[in-house]
Amino acid sequence: MSPSTPSGMKPIYTKPSASTRRKRPGRRTGHPGSRRKAPDRIDQRQNHRLKRCPHCDSSLKRCAATRTRYIEDIPENIQPIVTEHVIHHDWCPRCEKHVEPAVCDALPGATLGNRVLVLSAWLHYGLGNTLSQVVEVFGHHLQLPLTPGGLV
């Protein structure tokens, strides 16, 4: 292989190993946090509640506690849809802990749906687009505003 061979064309075992990260990721302690703002428009709402405990299969005592999660995803017709998921916490008297159902429309803790994730991965890794190009595609063509940090 010549020195002008692109990195993507070289076998992985011939590349030098990546350096380790020296700093802790994220902002410093005491600094204000930063995250994606809640969407202005909500197209759908879904309620999630378990019927039985996923650990021991016993009946649950209903609680009033909920948490809200927003997932923006691309539907079949390419218009982004924002879904508000209301996830109910319930108490399992047998396990003696709070339980809640899993939401499979996105990865845990993610605000972007699985379709957005797969399309961005294909654009970046499959086609070789840079992160700024992927962000531009989502912002312009799909009307889904993203930042490179939000995408990573």
> What pLDDT digit, counting tens, does each position of 58-107 carry?
999 999 999 999 998 877 667 778 899 999 999 999 999 999 999 898 88
- Residue matched to tokens 């016993």: 58
Q: Residue 136: which domain range?
A: 113-152
Is the domain of 123 the same as that of 97? no
The highest-confidence range among 3-17, 49-63, 134-148, by mean pLDDT, is: 49-63
Is the domain of 66 the same as that of 129? no
Judge whether 28 lies within some domain: no
Is the domain of 126 the same as that of 88? no
Is the domain of 44 the same as that of 105? yes
Tell the burial category of 66 from Cβ atoms under 10 Å away from its Cβ (0-12, 13-18, 19+). Answer: middle
What is the pTM assigned to this prediction?
0.53
Judge whether residue 4 has pLDDT over 80.
no
- Residue matched to tokens 């379709």: 115
Judge whether 77 lies within some domain: yes
* Cα distances (Å, whole numbers) of residue 76 to 34, 73, 139: 31, 10, 17
* Cα distances (Å, whole numbers) of residue 146 to 23, 133, 149: 25, 11, 8
Judge whether residue 44 has pLDDT over 70.
yes
What confidence tier does 145 reach under pLDDT thresholds 50, 70, 90?
Answer: confident
Judge whether residue 123 has pLDDT over 90.
yes
Is the domain of 89 the same as that of 124? no
User: Do the Cβ atoms of 67 and 80 come closer than 8 Å?
Assistant: no
Is the domain of 47 the same as that of 105? yes
